[in-house]
Structure 1
Amino acid sequence: MSPPRNSTAARDIAYALHPYTDHKAHLQHGPLVISRGKGVRVFDDQGKEYIEAVAGLWCASLGFDNERLVEAATRQMRRLPFYHSFTAKSHEPLVDLAEMLVERAPAPMSKVFFANSGSEANDSVVKMLWYMHNAIGKPRKKKIIARLKGYHGITVAAASLTGLPANHKLFDLPLPGFIHVSTPHHYHGARPGESEEEFATRLAEELEQVIEREGPETIAAFYAEPFMGAGGVIIPPATYFEKVQAVLKRHDILFCADEVIAGFFRTGSYWGSQTFGIQPDIVVCAKALSASFLPISAVMVNERVFQGIAEGSSSIGTWGHGFTYSGHPVPAAVAIETLKIYDEMDILSHVRRVGPYMQAQLRERFAGHPLVGEVRGVGLVAGVELVEDKATRKNFDPARKVGPRLAKLGEQHGVILRAMVNDSIGFSPPLIITEAEIDAMLDRFGAALDALAVELRRERIAAV
């Protein structure tokens, strides 16, 4: 049944162009229109309630209502609703937030640059890397190594870092100079009998071979999420980052940590880098920085990177990069309040209590399900991968859209899910979720998964 002509859904179909959407299908089926939120739940325009299992886009860390953040935005809008940071201008929220981030960084950092999204921040890092190496007299040191299935955004350079086919096809991407090495996913990538540590050693050796093939004097940086998010919630094998960092150090290659999803307690540490033993030269964060109440992202750079930028700006007379809204005072004020709330709530202790509970419940309830190949995760983030054959770890044909079908069934059962690569279903609920809410979320997921199993069984019978 098509939506009424004057409904929000009908007007959406008529006028809106959505990210990550099959637009021909959208013209037929229309959107799910969300009208309000409270805690870990959202409500559609018909009043139906859903548990948001992915915190929107991994980002609504404090849920969908928080009066302190509303008040922080309102206060700042009354005092100074906008100012920029071009040509050495500044304001208190920008300075306060930069100081707070440097104090909390997972490794010694020198300066903070602000943008409006993770994509913008990662795009900015690419320009910083090129700029600084030109400035310090290493103009060949420009290539960047990332990983297949890694996700770093959708601007031209950030999408080139990203290692997902859908972000490249028809866009003429990636740009030259972006190199992708293997996905660190033991479940699919390991050889028979190969331990996690042995798999990690092989991937580090592959990285070194790529560096030597390309020439270390041409490689500016290695780019990685502490865990892969949109690639399917892929947790690195034991010793992976330890071995990768040893390779990078030997060849004087910078490490850029994309903490856009992992940062701010998601993994059970303040930063994903701390969970996995990463000592980055550059850190990118966004999403939970402001609990996603307003758009803001940040790039933290260490002293070495800053000195290269400073040298270039001195020789030219300016650092010709920035956005009108870099360090916008209102999102910055909301981010400051968000960090204060995290501290006052001791959100880290909460995540360390409920995260293991979610991981244990996912494995106990679903690891043995006939459609589930692997349950993986850390802290309050997890992936459940659907497979056609558990014994061979064979995935379903992507044309069958099994993961998206499960996500749609989830909506029917009152839970919003995220279907990703290889029909992996992501879980990344608001950090404030309770054990009881985790139980409810997984009950609804289980009902949707069983409904999918019935559908697929009927299809098999019909095909015989």
Structure 2
Amino acid sequence: MLAEGPDTVGTFVGEPVLGTGGIIPPPKGYWKAIQEVLDKHDILLIADEVVCGFARTGQKYGSHLYGMRPDFVTIAKGLSSVYLRIYGSIIGERVWSILEQGTEQHGPLGHDWTYSGHTLCAAAALANIQVVGPYWLPRMKAELECHPTVGEVRGIGILSAVEFMRDPKARIPFEPGLQVGERAAATLLENEVIARAMPHADTLGYAPPLIIKRGEVDIIVAVRAVDTTYRALKTEGAI
């Protein structure tokens, strides 16, 4: 940013917790340090809360959890738990005040989309926001952290990831061609549990519904997909 000149930078965009990239929570103090730089150079912050919003991290928004002060917040999936398609933007006071001034001077700002304000989607979103719940990550850690192929169980709230490694202690990953993450996800699916093989290394991503109950958490954690994948790799001589 300094090389390009702060005056050429309009906004900084980021997820409070990296989602599709592997469900990676930020290091302690990361967002505080980022916020200080943005404040110093008067640069806007856009918080992508599509994954982290609506209590997925244990707070209403990931921005609350990490002390971020975004000027824009993008929201989508958690807004209706994807029962119906809806998305939106939350605009902070600093930007909104400029829009108000511009409207007074130049007329209303035109911004509209074909399906915006859809009555059914909006009603589903309002009902969904009333429902929330956690007990997830400690159970995942207790069950899987000591497994010989698990390098890390990480996450926040009920957003979590399990990363597989050939040698967890030495942090040596599996060869990409073995597709360990994809195989584990397929085994879970055979047991009626949906998890996502993430593009970041051999990682399974879990984002269960916020209304999940403790008994349902226990059922998901009890599915031995990691053991099944491990045995298959040993049989093939891959480990």
| TM-score, normalised via structure 1 length | 0.49
Q: Decide whether aligned partners of structure 1 residues 326 and 391 sit closer, same or farther in structure 2, where only a CA change above 3 A counts.
A: same
Other structure's SS at 1:255 match: strand
Percent identical among aligned pairs is: 39
2:222 to 430, 443, 452: 443
Task: State yes or no: 1:374 paired with 2:152.
Answer: yes
1:318 positional shift: 5.5
Which residue in the other structure is 1:460 paired with? 237
Other structure's SS at 2:237 match: helix
2:93 to 292, 296, 303: 303
Which residue in the other structure is 2:142 paired with? 364
2:21 to 225, 231, 235: 231
In structure 1, give the amino acid aligned to 2:148: P
In structure 2, give the amino acid aligned to 1:302: G
Which residue in the other structure is 1:269 paired with? 59
- Asked whether the 8 Å contact 2:81–2:209 carries over to 1, the reply is no
1:401 to 176, 179, 183: 179
1:315 positional shift: 6.8
In structure 2, give the amino acid aligned to 1:456: L
1: CA distance, partners of 2:125 / 2:20: 24
Greater relative contact order structure (CA < 8 Å, 6+ sep): 1
2: CA distance, partners of 1:214 / 1:399: 39
Which residue in the other structure is 1:154 paired with? none
Other structure's SS at 1:422 match: coil
In structure 2, give the amino acid aligned to 1:272: G
Other structure's SS at 2:234 match: helix
Structure 1 unaligned segments of length 5 or more: list them: 1-210
Which residue in the other structure is 1:424 paired with? 203
Computed over aligned residues only, the root mean square deviation of the Cα atoms, in angstroms, reads 1.9
Query: Residues 21-170 of structure 1: matches in 2 within 5 Å?
Result: none
2: CA distance, partners of 1:244 / 1:283: 16
Task: State yes or no: 1:247 paired with 2:26.
Answer: no
2: CA distance, partners of 1:311 / 1:459: 67
- The structure having more radius of gyration, on CA atoms, is 1
| TM-score, normalised via structure 2 length | 0.92
2: CA distance, partners of 1:414 / 1:294: 23
- Asked whether the 8 Å contact 2:181–2:202 carries over to 1, the reply is yes
Other structure's SS at 1:300 match: strand
2: CA distance, partners of 1:271 / 1:452: 35
In structure 2, give the amino acid aligned to 1:383: A
Q: Decide whether aligned partners of structure 1 residues 316 and 396 sit closer, same or farther in structure 2, where only a CA change above 3 A counts.
A: farther
Structure 2 unaligned segments of length 5 or more: list them: none
Task: State yes or no: 1:384 paired with 2:174.
Answer: no
1:364 positional shift: 1.5
1:433 positional shift: 1.2
1:271 positional shift: 1.1
